[in-house]
A and B are shown apart, each in its own frame.
Chain A
Amino acid sequence: MQLEPTEQTEPRESAEPASSSSALRERLSAAALALLLAPAAAMADSAATTQIDYTTLFYGEQGRTQVFEPIVRATRLFGDGQSISAQLGIDVITGSSPSGALPSGSVQTVTSPSGRDITVPAGQIPLTKFEDHRFGLDGEWQKPWGSFFTSTVGAHVSREKDYQSLGLNAKVSADLMQRMVTVTVGGGYNDDSVFPVGGTPIGLSDGSEVSKGANSKRVKSVLFGVSRVLTRRWILSVDGTRTFERGYLTEPYKVISLVSPFNGLPVGQLTDNRPSSRTRSSALLSSVYHLRNDIIYTSYRYYWDTWSVRSNTIDLKYRHDLREGWYFEPHVRYYRQGAASFYTIGLSTQLAPPEYATADYRLGRLTTLTIGADFGFRVGDNPSQWTLRAEYIRQKGDGLDPNADGVQSSFDPSPAINTVTAVIGYSFNF
Chain B
Amino acid sequence: MKRKAVSLLLLLLPLAVAARAGAARGAVADPPRVASFELPTSTGTVALDGLRQKVVLVDFWASWCGPCRQSFPWLSAMSERYGASGLVVVAINLDKNRELAQAFLREFSPPFIVAFDPAGKTAEAFDVRAMPSSYLVSRTGRLVYAHAGFDRRDADAIETQIKEEISK
Contact = CB atoms under 8 A, between A and B. Distances in A.
Direct touch of chains A and B (CB < 8 A): yes
Interface of A: 1-5, 7-18, 20, 25, 28-29, 31-32, 35-36, 40-41, 43-44, 47, 79-80, 146-149, 174, 176-179, 183, 185, 224
A28 B131 CA distance: 19
B129 A40 contact: no
B77 A36 contact: yes
A9 B127 contact: no
B7 to A, nearest CB: 10
A156 to B, nearest CB: 26
Interface stretch (B15-23, B39-47, B49-57, B83-91): B15-23
Given A18-B63, A18-B65, A147-B24, A13 B151 contact: yes
A220 to B, nearest CB: 13
B130 interface: yes
A173 to B, nearest CB: 10
Given A1-B125, A40-B74, 12 more contacts: A3-B32, A5-B28, A5-B143, A7-B146, A8-B129, A9-B130, A11-B132, A15-B65, A40-B152, A47-B70, A80-B152, A149-B15
A32 B34 contact: no
B69 interface: yes
B116 interface: no
Nearest to A12: B151
A40 B23 contact: no
B78 interface: yes
B78 A40 contact: yes
A10 B108 CA distance: 25
Contact of A16 (B23, B66, B155): B66
Given A10-B130, A147-B149, A18 B66 contact: yes
A176 B22 contact: no
Contacts of B14: 176
A35 B130 contact: no
A32 B150 contact: no
Contacts of A11: 67, 130-132, 148-151
B24 to A, nearest CB: 6
Given A1-B35, A3-B143, A183-B15, A9 B74 contact: no
Contacts, number: 151
A2 B28 CA distance: 14
Given A29-B107, A79-B152, A174-B15, A147 B22 contact: yes
B164 interface: no
A146 B155 CA distance: 15
Contacts of B77: 35-36, 40
**Contact count band on B:** 35 or more
Contacts of A146: 19, 24
A1 B146 CA distance: 15
A25 B73 CA distance: 12
A3 B155 contact: no
A32 to B, nearest CB: 4
Contacts of B12: 185
Nearest to A7: B26
Interface in B95-139: 103-104, 107-108, 125-127, 129-133
Contacts of B78: 40
B103 to A, nearest CB: 7
Contacts of B35: 1
Contacts of A185: 8, 11-12
Given A8-B129, A148-B19, A80 B80 contact: no
9 contacts: A4-B32, A9-B149, A40-B159, A43-B73, A47-B70, A146-B24, A147-B22, A148-B19, A177-B18
B104 A18 contact: yes
A9 B64 contact: no
Nearest to B18: A176
B25 A8 contact: yes
Nearest to B147: A8
B65 A35 contact: no
A32 B19 contact: no
B157 to A, nearest CB: 10
Given A2-B127, A17-B66, A25-B107, A9 B80 contact: no
B2 interface: no
A9 B69 contact: no
A10 B148 contact: yes
B153 interface: yes
A32 B146 contact: no
Contacts of B80: 36
B148 A35 contact: no
